[in-house]
Structures are given as structure tokens and as C-alpha cells.
Amino acid sequence: QVQLVESGGGVVQAGDSLRLSCAASGRTFSNAAAAWFRQPPGKDREFVSAIFRVASRTYYADSVKGRFTVSTDNTKSTMFLQMNNLKPDDTAVYFCALGPGVILSSLRSPTAYANWGQGTQVTVSS
């Protein structure tokens, strides 16, 4: 059974940084699509970033490109999201997701992912 546990959220001011972690058990992030999504208050869940399969290519939403960096540790069992220069619009619950069967064209769709963490709240004040 796959379990994902996020951590690292918090309350920060605009311009600050946070590093989110997603620890996987039951399988690693190897040979799968691993992604971060977020859900702002009153809005739908939206794609933030992903690492895709063995090649470990990374993808980002335009709104976070240049500010956020996704990575994994050497064991491929923990995924990170380094978030710099945070803005109030980044306020959301952040979820990590794992999709062994995700194809590239579905990378940004939350419905493509089979496994989800419980989420961690990030609040950015102005």
C-alpha cells in the first residue's frame, strides 16, 4: 500500500522561502510521475510541478516557474518542493501525488494520479 506524507508547510511572509517534503512508503518515485498540486481557498486543485519518470525531467506551472524547484533524494523515496520568493497567491493546501501510470500528456491533470498525501497548508501573508 502506497502512502505519501507531506510536511514543511507553515505561515510565512511574502518573499520568504519554504521547503515542502513528501515521504513515500510502499514504493518509490522511480519509474513514475511524481507531482505537487495545490488547492487555494475556494478553488480547484491545480498543478504546481512534477518530475516525470526515469529521465527525471521537471515541469512547472507558469505561475511558479523560476521560484519553485522540485527534486527527489538519492533513494527516490522523498520528494521536495523548494519554494522561494513566496507570494500571497501561493497560499493553498499543497498535496503530493504519485502516478505510476501517468503519461506525459496527463502530467498536469490531478485525475491522472492514483496516490495522494493528506496535504500541508502554506499561508503567505503580504
Summarised one tens digit per residue, pLDDT across range 49-105 is 999 875 578 999 999 999 999 999 888 889 999 999 999 999 999 999 999 888 889
Q: How far is CA 45 from CA 26, 39, 55, 59, 105, in A?
A: 25, 4, 26, 17, 18
- Distance between CA 73 and CA 82 in Å, rounded? 13
CA–CA dist 9, 102 (Å, integer): 26
**Count of beta carbons in the 10 Å neighbourhood of residue 105:** 8
Nearest one of 32, 34, 21, 40 to 83, comparing CA atoms: 21
Q: How far is CA 114 from CA 24, 84, 111, in A?
A: 13, 28, 8
Residue 45 banded pLDDT, cuts 50, 70, 90: very high
